[in-house]
Amino acid sequence: MKIPYLNDILYDITHKPPATVEWE
């Protein structure tokens, strides 16, 4: 599931592009 605003939050938290965030 792709959620743009969630990706923005994850980017703020992880300081990485959302595409590199691995969901488990």
Q: What is the CA radius of gyration of the chain?
A: 8
Which pLDDT score, from 0 to 100, does residue 20 have?
58
| Structural contact between residues 18 and 11, judged by C-beta atoms closer than 8 angstroms | yes
CA dihedral 7, 4, 9, 12 (to 10 degrees): 60
Give me the pLDDT at residue 16, please.
60
Predicted confidence at residue 11, as pLDDT, reads: 74
Within the chain, which residues score under 50 in pLDDT? none
